[in-house]
Amino acid sequence: MPASAIAEASAMPASTPPASPPSFGTLALRWYRLNRGGLRATAIGIISLLAFLLVWHLLTTYRVVFFVRFTNVPSPLAVYASFTKAIHDPKFLLHVLLSCRRIFFGFSLAAIVAVPLGLIMGRFKLVHEIIFPVAEVLRPIPAIAWVPMAIMLWPTNEQSIVYITFLGSFFPILVNTLHGMSLVDPVLVRAAQCLGARERSIFRDVYFPASLPHIFTGLTVGMGVAWVSLIAAEMISGQYGIGYFTWEAYSLVQYADIALGMIAIGVLGLGSSMLIRGAGQLVMPWRSR
Amino acid sequence: MSEIVVKAPQGHIEVRNFSLSYDSIEGPVQAVTDTQIHVKPGEFVSIVGPSGCGKSTLLNAVAGFLKPTTGIVTVDGERVNGPSAERGMVFQQYSLFPWKTVRENVEFGLKMRGMPRSQRERAARTLLGLAGLEAFEKHYPEKLSGGMKQRVGIVRALATGPKVLLLDEPFGALDAQTRVIMQQILTNMWQRLKISVLFVTHDIDEAIFLSDRVYCMTARPGSIKAEIPIPLERPRQQSMMMSSEFLALRRGLMSLIREESIKAMGGELNDMGMQGLNIELHGHSLADVI
């Protein structure tokens, strides 16, 4: 068959497995060659983190005063001591847990509302024309500025904090979803139409997957802003939560706990954005290499 | 294969009194005017013309993406009102869905038709096998070369068993070697499937090598300048491109298109206020220079 013969000739060369399994040594060497860049980055990363800790340690043990005052700043060892105490303290764990729960509800609600809204606004001009001006006016208002209003709006403190978190992540998700929709290649839509796709399947099989990368950018940014908003709201109106814990430590002159709260926020923020990245890779296998 | 071939000869494209214009700030702009073309069932017809002559516009109207301003487009006597799976299309830009594997891309049209999963999987595998792509069924398009992407695009367009296949400069982005191979593959598939093909290109060799008949369009506003039957025997071989018959056809088409290209360019040069350079753009003097 000439077609397939020609096809074969132009096909990409497939990687052929070697006849005999290579020795462990060769495999290890190959693995090292392939991952050299990653290993290097990891090694440098660890060294730079250690250097950071060392500088912090030196600045605090010698109580350096050079424009900034390190007089009262806790040393890494002091923070570690309060960390070992805190992980056995159910109250600290409750703070962490409550913050996570607020993030979960606030962020999930934002995603559940903003993603479909963005998709619909991107597809139907009229909806876009109606909603976009309102969104544009509300968008620049920082979530923290909503705190007094949120307290008035919602019957409980818990609800108003979740609401603030929701607001923080809502707009980044909406804006990025809209952006993704606006970038959908019209040729793909036409290709789908030529294959007999109707409005519903064009939406499901073209617009939605084409926007997914941007939706996930929105989710990542939204998660970051969610934490910013949450911590601010907790510091102002909370009774629990890691933001409240950090602020309370300051009021109670527990300096080591301030740093502990900050680090906890950093780790939680990092963890949640890694979760989103992982979810993105699961949902978009075509983008991972 | 059985799903695809059985149909009686059909796929008669008829474009009558066709014109298409669009609005601009300076008033309506005529893209295509007073055009009649037809493609008989099972015929391979190409449209060539200078760039911007409206050949893609015409093809998009046959596909149903554009509505004619006047005139009518029919396939087997039925008026074209919008895109449908009856008219398969291959685009110049690679239009595979990046989020679907090669096989899922090919299956898409069958899925839209409501074919059950196992059945369409089998159909897609068969088709991919015919195009020599079975080894790549689980790959995502991003990993394929340009030629393979376009092969998948053709297979995908044929999977639903359309009455006609429309191709809009499908090999324009490919290198010369791949292009020749793709032309061979396309003729093989066309001969096997006996499907009507309307093929838009600016490559004269490609048009002659592939077609039963070639329409040559004028510069904008586009209309049909000439209709040239290609009496070369089939199956066509690469070696034919050196035959005196082929070269004669090529020379004829070349001079037709060149006239139009110069007209189009001359128009542009005039628009740019180049008369001051004392180039005589009217008549044939520029043609003689070039």
Residue type, B267: G
Distance CA A169, CA A165 (A): 7
Closest residue in A to B98 (Cα) is A286
Q: How far from each other are the two terminal CA atoms of chain B, in whole angstroms?
A: 50
What pLDDT sits at residue B47? 96
CATH match for A76-287 among 1.10.3720.10, 3.60.21.10, 1.10.486.10, 2.60.40.10 = 1.10.3720.10
**What is each CA distance from A124 to A174, A189, A204, B15, in whole angstroms?**
15, 15, 15, 33
- pLDDT for position A5: 42
- Residue B273 pLDDT > 60: no
Which pLDDT does position B220 carry in this prediction? 82
The domain over range B2-242 is classified in CATH as 3.40.50.300: yes
Q: pLDDT tens-digit profile of B117-130?
A: 999 999 999 889 88
Residues of B in contact with A195 (CB under 8 A): 85, 88, 108-109, 112, 156-157, 160
Instruction: Give me the percent of chain B exceeding a pLDDT of 70.
Output: 88
Q: Does the pLDDT of residue B18 top 90, yes or no?
A: yes
CB B53 within 8 A of CB B223: no
Quote ipTM for the complex: 0.85
Dist CA A135 CA A140 (whole Å): 9
CA proximity to B180, closest of B121, B236, B100: B236
Spatial neighbors of A8 by CB under 8 A, at least 6 apart, are B132
Chain A residues interacting with chain B (CB cutoff of 8 angstroms): 2-12, 14, 185, 187-188, 190-198, 201, 205-206, 209-210, 212, 284-286
CB B111 within 8 A of CB B120: yes
Domains of chain A by residue range: 23-69, 76-287
Among partner residues A3, A8, A190, which is closest to B65 by beta-carbon distance?
Answer: A190
Q: For residue range A140-195, what is the model confidence (pLDDT) as tens digits?
A: 999 889 999 999 999 999 999 999 999 999 999 999 999 999 999 999 999 999 99
| The two three-digit tokens of residue B168, written as one number | 């809009």
Asked if B93 and A209 come within 8 Å (Cβ–Cβ), the reply is no
State which residue of chain A sits closest to B101, comparing Cα positions: A286
A188 to chain B: closest CA residue: B95
Alpha helices in chain B (DSSP H): 2-5, 55-63, 102-112, 117-130, 146-159, 176-193, 204-210, 244-271, 285-289
Domain ranges of chain B: 2-242
